Chain A
Amino acid sequence: MSGKSRRPVIVAVVAILLCGGISARLQALRDSMPLSTTDDETLYLTERATSRVVFTHRSLASDLYWIRAIQYFGGRSRIVREHQAEGFEPPASIAAPVSFDQLYPLLDVATTLDPRFNIAYRFGAIFLSARDPEGPGRPDLAVRLLEKGLQTAPEKWQYWHDIGFVYYWSARDYRKASEAFQRGADLPGAPWWLRSLAATMLVRGGDRVTSRLLWRQLYETANNDYARVAAQTKLLQLDAIDRMEQLQALVDRAAARAGGPVTSWRELEAMGVARGVPVDPANIPYTLLPTGRVALSEQSPLFPLPLEPDAGPRQ
C-alpha cells in the first residue's frame, strides 16, 4: 500500500520481541523470589462466611476452590516426591515441613458451596487419605468428607464404596470397611460386587487379591484420566510386588547356594539361575541391594511402592 512503509512495522516487531524476552526473564526472576505467603492466603474466608457472601456464582466459586485444592495437593505432593528423589532439599517457596493443613478446609468450602460436587468428595477423599508424606494421611477427614456428601445425596452408593476403600487401604480397619461396603450394597442401583467385597473384607481382608480387585474396579469405572492412571499405577505396583517376591525367592535360593549374598544379576546369570536382567512392569530393571534384597529401581515411575496392608517393611 503506497504511503505506508514497512520499516516501522519491522522495527516495532523487533522491539516487541526484545521486550517480550526481557519480560519473560523478569517474570522468571520474580517467580524465583515469591512472597512468603501467609497461610490463610489461599482460604480468604471461612467456610460459613464464604457461603454467605457468595450468593451468585456459587457453582463457579466452588469450582475455584476445587481447583485450588487440586493445585494445593498436587503441587505439594510433587514437591515431596522431588524431595525423596533428590534428598530433602526444600525449595525456597515452601517452608519445610510440607503441610497439608489447608486441604480439608478448601474441600469443605468447595462442597459447602456446591453440596453435590461429586468429584470434590471422591477425589478429595483420595487426596486426604494419601499417606504422609505424599499427602495429609487423614483417613478420618476423608471419611468425614464423604459422609458430608452422603447427607445431601444418600442414594450415592459410590460414596459408601469410597468410605470402605479408605477404611481398607488407609486406615486398615477391615470391619468398618466391610460395614461401609454393605451399606452401599443395600442401596438401589448398587453393583453386585459391593456385597462380595463386604464379605471378602471379613474373610480375607488384607491380601493382595482383594487389593487388586478393588483397584481393578476403580480402573474400570473411572471416568477421568487421573483416576484411571492412579488405578493403573497401583495395579502395576502390585504386579511388581508379586514379581519381586518371585525374584526374591530365586535370589535367596542362589544366595544359599553361593554361601553369601548375591549382589548382581550377572552373578545370577552366571549361576544359571536367571536369564538377563529382570524388568519391572515399566520396563526398568530391578535392582539388587547390597543386602541381597530385590528392590524396585528408584528410577522407575512405579517407585515408591505403596505400603500394603499387613505387608512387610517398605522395599
Chain B
Amino acid sequence: MALAIETIELTKDYAVGFWRKRPRRALDRLSLQVEAGEVFGFLGPNGAGKTTTLKLLLQLVFPTSGEARILGRPPGDLDAKRRLGYLPENPYFYDYLTAEELLTYFGGLLGLDALERRKRVSTLLDEVGIGSERRLQLRKFSKGMLQRVGIAQALLNEPDLVILDEPMSGLDPLGRRDVRKLILKLRDRGCTVFFSSHVLSDAESLCSRVAILAKGRLVASGRLSEILAFGIRGWELVVANISDEILTRYAPRISRAQPIGGGRFALELPADASPEQLLLDLTARGGQLVSLNPLRETLEDFFVEQVEQQR
C-alpha cells in the first residue's frame, strides 16, 4: 500500500533565547504513516506540534533530525508539490486581490494554461460557496469566507494529497458541514486527506485513522475503532409517560435518572444491564420509548485522558 505521508523519527528543535540559545523541542521523534486514499486526523491541543509537523512536511521549516516523505518524495520536492494542496491555519492572502484574481494567480503558479485556469477557478469558487463575492477584494472578506477561499486554492491542482491545517476554523455550522461534505467527496475521489484539528467531533465523523500529539510527542495513533475501547460503558434510555413512583420501583437497575421536562426522563443504565428488559418492563407500565443509545467512550474522553498523562 503506497504511503501518502511517512515520517521516521522526525524531530524539530527551535533555538530559544537571545544570548544562550537553549533548544526547545517542538517535535520529538515523530514516526507516522498515512496511507493513500484515507482520511487521517492529526489531533492534539494547541502547541502540541501539529503545525510544526505540517511545516516540516512542506519544507517551510527544516528538521533537526529524522526523515519525512511526502507522496514518496522528500519534502520540498517540486513533483510532490504539484500533486498536493495545502490550506494553512488562519490563512491570509493578498488584500488587494479579488478571490478570482488570487486563484488565477495561484493557478498560473501551478502551471495551468489560461483556459483550464479559468474553468477550474470558476468551478472551485462555486464548490466552496463563493458567489458574486468573488469579484470583491479579499480585504473585504470575513474569516469564514477567507477559509473557503483557502480551501479552494488548495484544490486548484486537483491534488492527490490534501493537507489541511484546522480546516473548520472560523466556519459557522453550515460552513463546517460543507467542509465535511467536501472532505468526504475528496475521499471518494481517491484523494488522501490529512488534516489537523482540535475539534474532535469532526475527526470522529470523518477519519478512518487518527494520531494524537501532545507536547511534541505522539501519544497514540491507529484506527479510530481500535483506539476507542469498543466497549460500551453504559446506555442512555429516554422514556416518556413515566411516573416517579414507577421509577423508584426500578431504581436499583438505573444508575441515574434525569427528568428532562414534559414527563420525560433520561435514564442512565450500567453497561452490564440489558436495556431491552427494562424497556419492556417500563413500556408494560405505560411508558413510551423516546430513544435508546449506547454510551461509548468518546474520542474526547480518550483525548483528555492521554493528554493528561503527558502533563
Contact = CB atoms under 8 A, between A and B. Distances in A.
Direct contact of A and B (CB under 8 A): yes
Contacts of B74: 3
A221 interface: no
B85 interface: no
A283 interface: no
Contact of A1 (B59, B64, B75, B76): B64
A68 B63 CA distance: 54
Contacts of B59: 3
B60 to A, nearest CB: 12
Nearest to A4: B62
A152 interface: no
Contacts of B67: 2
Contacts of B75: 3
Main SS at interface, chain B: loop
A3 B66 CA distance: 9
B46 interface: no
Interface string A208-247: 0000000000000000000000000000000000000000
A3 B77 CA distance: 11
A2 B62 CA distance: 7
Interface in B66-116: 66-67, 74-76
Interface in B21-69: 59, 62-67
Contacts of B66: 2
A4 B59 CA distance: 10
A1 B76 CA distance: 15
Interface in B118-141: none
Interface in A132-178: none
Nearest to B62: A3
Nearest to A3: B62
B14 to A, nearest CB: 12
Contacts of A3: 59, 62-63, 74-76
Nearest to B56: A3
Contacts of B65: 2
Interface in A1-31: 1-4
A3 B64 CA distance: 9
A3 B65 CA distance: 9
Interface centre among A1, A2, A4 (most CB of B within 10 A): A2
A157 to B, nearest CB: 53
User: Counting chain B CB atoms within 10 Å of each CB, which of A1, A2, A3, A4 scores highest?
Assistant: A3
Interface in A81-108: none
A3 B62 CA distance: 6
Contacts of B62: 1-4
A4 B63 CA distance: 9
A73 B205 CA distance: 85
A231 to B, nearest CB: 48
A3 B74 CA distance: 8
Contacts of A2: 62-67
Contacts of A4: 62
A114 B62 CA distance: 57
A3 B75 CA distance: 8
A80 B6 CA distance: 76
Nearest to B11: A2
Interface string B271-285: 000000000000000
Contacts of B76: 3
A126 to B, nearest CB: 49
B75 to A, nearest CB: 7
A134 B246 CA distance: 123
11 contacts: A1-B62, A1-B63, A2-B63, A2-B64, A2-B65, A2-B66, A2-B67, A3-B62, A3-B63, A3-B74, A4-B62
A-B pairs, 8 with minimum CB distance: A3-B62, A4-B62, A3-B63, A2-B63, A1-B62, A2-B65, A1-B64, A3-B75
Given A3-B63, A3-B76, 14 more contacts: A1-B62, A1-B63, A1-B64, A2-B62, A2-B63, A2-B64, A2-B65, A2-B66, A2-B67, A3-B59, A3-B62, A3-B74, A3-B75, A4-B62
